[in-house]
Amino acid sequence: MEKLIVSNLSAEADGKKILNDLNLTLSKGDCMALLGPNGHGKSTLFNVLMGSPEYTVTSGSVTMDGEDLLALTADQRSRKGMFMAFQNPPDIPGIVASDFFRASVNVRRGEPVSAYDFYKLTEEAYRKVGLNSDMASRHLNEGFSGGEKKRDEVLQMLLLEPDLVFLDEIDSGLDVDALSQIASIINEMRAKGTTFVMISHYDRLYNIVPPNRTAVMVDGSIVLEGDASLAKRVSAEGYSFLHSEYGINLAKKRPIADPKAPDILSLGVD
């Protein structure tokens, strides 16, 4: 991926407008911190860019190196090198992790990986994320702790070798050692040119994986962009300066699906 261009993107779920005329351009090698108050559409943006069928794009365009991304299914986007680590990775009972991983690696590579290579690849990946490789025989995420689920997302990132990665609160629930293991993996991949967008509310992640850009999302749009210092400032001060200095209204507008809702909803906190 050289360039991802999101232009005037609007999207909804259940008749509720979540993304509002959002514009964003990512270039190869970017490491972006994506911030914004709870419930303002950060996870939705990742899901829409990955092609989740839960969301309907109502207007706008997304192109990756000139190609219409919105015309592609989620699996086609993944084959092209896009990857998302879920904020809340779902349990998938009945699917053995190693079967799922092997099938995904085969599809991403476009040819079957040998049993020996797959074994070496997974052993190394489990070691790097600090999980026991016995977990490969378990059903995906079933009974995993919050931190194990997050490490398992990073494991899948290692196996699939994506070019464009969306990390949705990858640091939540991780202990300090796990965070530094995961940060080293991200930094190694960055050094090889992988592009990252990281949603996190805490600068402990941004301190060890320093972003080159920060974007702030309010009410479904990117309202402010800056460098790493913007992420630091938000972590230290919160969002109120957006209003006092930039005149940005931190309230969400009335959702279309709920005509009885008050005109302005206060900052969503979840």
Ligand X SMILES: Nc1ncnc2c1ncn2[C@@H]1O[C@H](COP(=O)(O)OP(=O)(O)O)[C@@H](O)[C@H]1O
Stretch binding ligand X (CB under 6 A), from 11-19, 25-33, 118-126, 147-155: 11-19
Residue from the set 14, 75, 124, 175 that interacts with ligand X by CB under 6 A: 14
* Number of residues in the chain: 270
Distance in angstroms (rounded) separating the CA atoms of residues 52 and 97 = 21
Judged by CB under 6 A, which stretch of 35-43, 146-154, 200-208, 235-243 contacts ligand X? 35-43
CA distances from 165 to 95, 224, 235, 255, 258 (A): 24, 21, 22, 30, 34
d(C-alpha 168, C-alpha 42), whole Å: 8
Kind of pairing between the strands at 195-199 and 164-168: parallel
Select the residue interacting with ligand X from 4, 6, 11, 18 (CB under 6 A): 18
**Paired tokens of 219:** 């009410």
Kindly write out the interface string for residues 186-225 of this chain, putting x where it contacts ligand X by CB under 6 A and - elsewhere.
Answer: ----------------------------------------
DSSP per-residue string spanning 37-78: -TTSSHHHHHHHHHT-TT-EEEEEEEEETTEEGGGS-HHHHH
Task: By CB under 6 A, tell whether 180 contacts ligand X.
Answer: no
Q: Which residues neighbour 189 within 8 Å (Cβ) at sequence distance 6 or greater?
A: 157, 165, 196
Distance CA 234, CA 34 (A): 11
Among 8, 23, 25, 38, binds ligand X (CB under 6 A): 38
Q: Which of 42, 102, 149, 213 binds ligand X (CB under 6 A)?
A: 42
| CA 49/CA 78 separation, integer angstroms | 11
The partner in contact with residue 190, picked from ligand X, Mg ion, none with C-beta cut-offs of 5 to 8 angstroms by kind, is: none
Part of the chain binding ligand X (CB under 6 A), chosen from 13-21, 107-115, 146-154, 175-183:
13-21
Among 41, 51, 60, 89, binds ligand X (CB under 6 A): 41
Q: Shortest Cβ distance from residue 113 to Mg ion (Å)?
A: 33
54 counts as binding ligand X under rule CB under 6 A: yes
Please identify the residue of the shown chain whose CB is closest to the bound Mg ion: 43
Q: Which two tokens stand for residue 223?
A: 């309202």
Q: Does 60 contact ligand X by CB under 6 A? A: no
Total residues at the site for ligand X (CB under 6 A)?
14
Residue 36: CB minimum distance to ligand X, A:
5
Nearer to ligand X, 39 or 81 (CB): 39
Is beta strand 195-199 parallel, antiparallel or unpaired with respect to 16-27?
A: unpaired
Question: What span, in angstroms and rounded, lies between the C-alpha atoms of 127 and 269?
Answer: 36
What does 149 interact with, of Mg ion, ligand X, none (CB < 5 to 8 A by kind)? none
Q: Which residues bind ligand X (CB under 6 A)?
A: 13-14, 16, 18, 36, 38-44, 54, 268
